[in-house]
Structure 1
Amino acid sequence: METEDRKKRLYSAPAKVTVTVLLFLGALLCTIFGSAFLRLATLGSGDPTARMEGGQYYTTAGCAIKMHIDLSQLSDYLSTRKVFDVNGQYDPTQLVDVTKDYHNGITGVEVNKYTSYTLEDMYQMYVSGCADNLDANADESTYIQEDEALASESSEAAGYGLSGDRSDLTVASGSESEELVPQADLENIALEYMSEDTWKHLQSVGNSRSYSRQFLYLYGCGYPNEISYGIKTAAGSTLADYAAANPEKVSLYDLYRALPDLASQVSSYVWAEESQEQYLGRNSNLRYYVKDETQVYTNMQDWEALSEEEIQNMLESWPMYVSYTRENGRMVEGHFPETAAGYRLSSYLASEQILSGNERVYIGLDTAYPIDDDYKEAARFYDSLAPYAPGILAIAIIGLVMAIAAFVICTIQAGRNQKDGTVRLYGFDSLPTEVAMAVGVILGILLIGYFGYIIAINMSDMSGFFMVFLGLYVCMSVGLFMLFYLSLVRRIKAHNLWEKSILRAVIHLGGRVYEARQESSKLIMAALGLMLLHFIFLPTTGFFGVMLCLVVDILVLLYMLREATGKRTVIEGLRQLGSGDLDYKVDTTELKGNNKELAEVVNSMGDGLKTAVEVRMKNERMQADLITNVSHDIKTPLTSIVNYVDLLKRENIEDPKIKGYIDILERKSQRLKQLTEDLVEASKASSGNVNMEFVTLNLNELVQQVNGEFDERLSGRELDMICSLPPEPALVRADSRYLWRVIENLYGNVAKYAMPGSRVYVDVIRREGSVVFIMKNMSEQTLNISPDELMERFVRGDSSRTTEGSGLGLSIAENLVKLMKGTFELFVDGDLFKVEVTFPEVNRDVFRQSV
């Protein structure tokens, strides 16, 4: 019993709410404090508790990693500055030549103004996509070149190679190994790749030279592109025109292929200039001074006027700074703090140069953090929380354990009803299993993917606000996960997982199709034939096939409409039979095939039902007549027996044995008389042959009267009556005599069959416009039959039939209640017997007005 109570408390609504709150609270704590600890570990490079040993952020390996990354970017930035800077400054008007290779840091080389652009124009060519478009044109032109080579090989193999005078052909740019187009065909072929205006322009620029197909394609695509972007060379022309006019000097294909690489270099230089000004310029707490053989680079303007000794003396007061000298690529002198950060930077800078193999470098981190940058944010977070890292980790672990425990308990609670522990399913559980699982998996992938994305982009900059947001996001994800997970658990507990499966439905459909294979095989073959007809005729026969398939589809549609109409006719016949019209016949004159066969079955079913109903009604009438006639025939001799027994009792008979016989005769004759009266009453009640006189009654008063009448009988069996009546009148419309008969019968059953020494509960309640009489008691005998069986005639709860009773009382009571427009319901739960009699409530205001 104690175990049952514990289970009921576990399945109660407050317990479920509490466990759910603990689940979300655990997830929230684990996420917030776990992410905080992870952030500390990241900032400290795996050592979030270093602060407890006196270390601060600038001493950690994590700070060194951040400086390492920034110094790598600084190295790339300074390398590009050495190539493109003018007097140590960015000059957007400086010219760069497409034909030069700037990867090796060449400077001071004379440029060709016809193949050169300013840094600003080259950057715009990269941003606008012009350089990539021209490179794509060059890449596509290789197919033209391959096709032309194949055509040349084919013509030579066939004996149609060029011969004779070739003075009209010249070498075109980028086409030294390509076949030139003859002058006679040049215009026609050129107009395949370019507009007429572009062709005229090419003739004017190239002095009517001949060109290969590849060059014509490149010029037709490239020249309009260069003009549309409005970016020209330093000479004010285009690369296409320069290549057309100087085929012996340059290849247009090579120019277009080299252009995006130089544009990418220039864009990297411009972006580095902008980003370094923002992140490692004057807006950074990381200060640097780098000097090579010719130039000094620093983000501190006042350091440019200082000597190296003055810079060294100033940085010595900073707790985090490094300095070293490199000669011929080898570090010969250096200073590094004896911290995790210093060791990390020493290892990096020993093998990686910032600017060149001969450099003097000073790098310092201003630990006063006057600038709001990543270093200040990281130091503020790390220095304030690192001392509490063990506690933060402990709370995160507690949250994780709490979430796991709540998850397990939620799994146990899922779907269980507090009252009886049965499984309760919800509307969401009615979705097909595969659909619910697919939605859950897709949603889970999206949530996990977005979680990983936001972690990846914010790992290096986790703020308190972001951690709270992350916690709420995880709680939302847990809620959505639990929605699908608990649905799956409820389905498993209710054995509904397979029942609601689409796969099961498909398998069952296949089984039904197989069972009806005689009919279904015809439909399947017809469908396959129709699909085969479409597959054969539609792709190959053109208009004729389309028309043939259309005619067949129309015929199939007409057949389906005929079948659907026939099914509708059969359904209408079934509906008529269901409504009670057993004389209805389905018209089979227009039906064909299975529909006609089904309609004939429906008609024969109607005939069978009609015959069965007629037989049943005849039997009912015969039973009623038999009961009435036999009861009437029994009443005359029974009256005589009762009267003669009464006369014998009046005689002065002294023999006690004869007196005992007379008493037995009296009891049995009275019981037989009561049985006869019950039979007559049951016959009248079941046939409705009862005259009802409806009046407005107060059910409270009627119950109190019956309580008084049965008080002695109930007390004799030690039955404790507990009666609960509403304070206001419970008014109903009924026949007072028959309502008394109903309630008296129920009390009589209690007096006969209730367990002695138990309680009997009688309640009158008002419920949603109705008045309900409720009686509950514990049966002395085991009630191993259903309520419906108890309602049948001649059935008694006392299966041994040792008590008096005919088994007609409940049947009579039910019929009488129905005749009085009420409802009569029985409930049996183990040995508990419960009956509810319900009548519509009479409106008290209307009753007062009528009185």
Structure 2
Amino acid sequence: MKKLTHSAAARAAAFILCLLCGLTALLCAAGYFMTRIDRDRTLPEPDSVSVYQNGIRVLLNNALQEERYTGEYPELPSGYSYVATDTSTGKVLYDGRTKNAVPLGISFGYFSEGVGIDVQAYLEPKQTPGEELTLFRTSVGTLLRYQNAYLPVGIITAVLCLALLVFLMASMGKTPDGVKLRGIHRVPLDLFLAAALAAVAVPANFYFDLSEINLLYNPLWVWMMPVTLMALWIGFVVLLTLCTISARLRAGKWWRNSIIYIVCRFVYRAVRGFVRALPIAWKGILVYAVVALVNFFGMLLICLSGSFFQLLMLVALDIAGLYFVIRIMRQLKALQTAAQKLAAGDLTYTVDTEKMYPVLKEHGDDLNAVSVGMSRAVNERMKSERFKTELITNVSHDLKTPLTSIVSYVDLLKKEPTESEAAREYIEVLDRQSQKLKKLTTDLVDASKASSGVLPVNLEKIDLGELLRQSAGEYTEKFAAANITPVLNVPETETYVTADGRLLWRVLDNLLGNAVKYAQSGTRLYLELTPGETETVLTLKNISREPLNIPAEELMERFVRGDGSRHTDGSGLGLSIANSLMELMGGKLTLTLDGDLFKAALVFPQKTV
């Protein structure tokens, strides 16, 4: 069965057979009803056939048409007569029957010059029918000859037609590769239906020209041929329409392949594009204008008609508008909440945009996208920092054991008597480089702890001015060796900040150590403490010995140094450690580069004081 439903040849054969069976069933039904005999009447058989009586009705109608123009009632062909009566007065206007006349059961009424006339037809059994009806009676006799076959043949062919139609409906559009529309099934549906309607309507206009009147003057086959061709054509169009509708329904979304849908979609997209291009304020104005126009015309109709029902409709429309306004306000509130959550750092919060209106839905989707993007960026940053921290920690710990051994053995070598001057110089180099490596390892561990936030922080009230004086005093010899003159600008009054004394000393030690290493010899180092209402700032300024050819932000990255400083013993971790320690204490470290001027500022917010 599957092979048959997927076979184009099988569908074509079924289409032709279905069309022929349907035509045969239709002709048998027509023959059955045309040769139907009224058993309650004692008329001769040909005169009792419905199609024959219709022919007499046509002759009678032609005679009455002649009366309307001539004012005289003409006689019917031999064998038939009629009576015309005034319906209002009962007066007989014309009586052409004999005493043997038998009613045919054919009657109708019409108006002539404002007078209602009733007409009854009669059969004259003892008269020989005229020549006008001889051909007609012969055709009726031919129809009567096969009247017993019309019903069984019609039923059989109708059943076959129905079975073939079911097969066609079940197989349309099916192919071995699935359901696919090809050929005529790809024509827009409304265009196809319009063409099918025109193809049926044009031949149907000639139906009345092919009615029983032609049997009065032509043989039966002359009437049957055009009727059969017309029925065959109409059946072909109808069957083809049913087949294409079945195929489109099976393929799904049949409405998309129609000119009406294409036009409506184009208009909808054009209007939607226009509305979307409008600013949000103009969209609101447009909605208000539509509502105002509807209310205006509604009130106008109510004033003109005074209809209470129209008033109820207008009130219902306004209530619906209020409902939409409430929904919009709730959706705006949801968007506002989402924005507040996002601003507060809750990156897991998302707004439900499923039932939002398009304009607000776009905004909600944007907020969700921002939340997802920021969460992804934060996770990637945390992952990267965690990896760097773990790497530094592991490497530093792995270096400690062999480094401790190296330092210990270098100390032992220094204590051993050595005659060779070169050997003593080599030991000094080993000692200096091992101490440098030890400091680098310590800095790596400190940087890892500071950036990961695992260092214990003991915040307390500290006199920053006094700590700055002590730090500068600790570096007096180093300043003198580097030919740098410190200039302190510290208020006489006490300046307190809340910080960890141990960590703050480490920050100052790093900054002052950098000044000793990298400041231009013979210059001044300015140390200025500026208390304020909202924050306290400690500023260090010096002139760099080498050009500062790197952005200030990069100087606080790990292992970053200026090109001119690479020959010194710095590790590139000092500023990074200082920045991390300041963040742990709630402050911040900012760097400013202006030519050769290096400026570092330690900022302590007043809220931490």
TM-score interval, normalised by the smaller of the two chains: 0.3 to 0.5
| Higher radius of gyration, 1 or 2 | 2
With the length of structure 1 as denominator, give the TM-score of the two structures: 0.35
> TM-score, normalised to structure 2's length?
0.47
Q: Which has the higher contact order (CA 8 A, sep 6+)?
A: 1
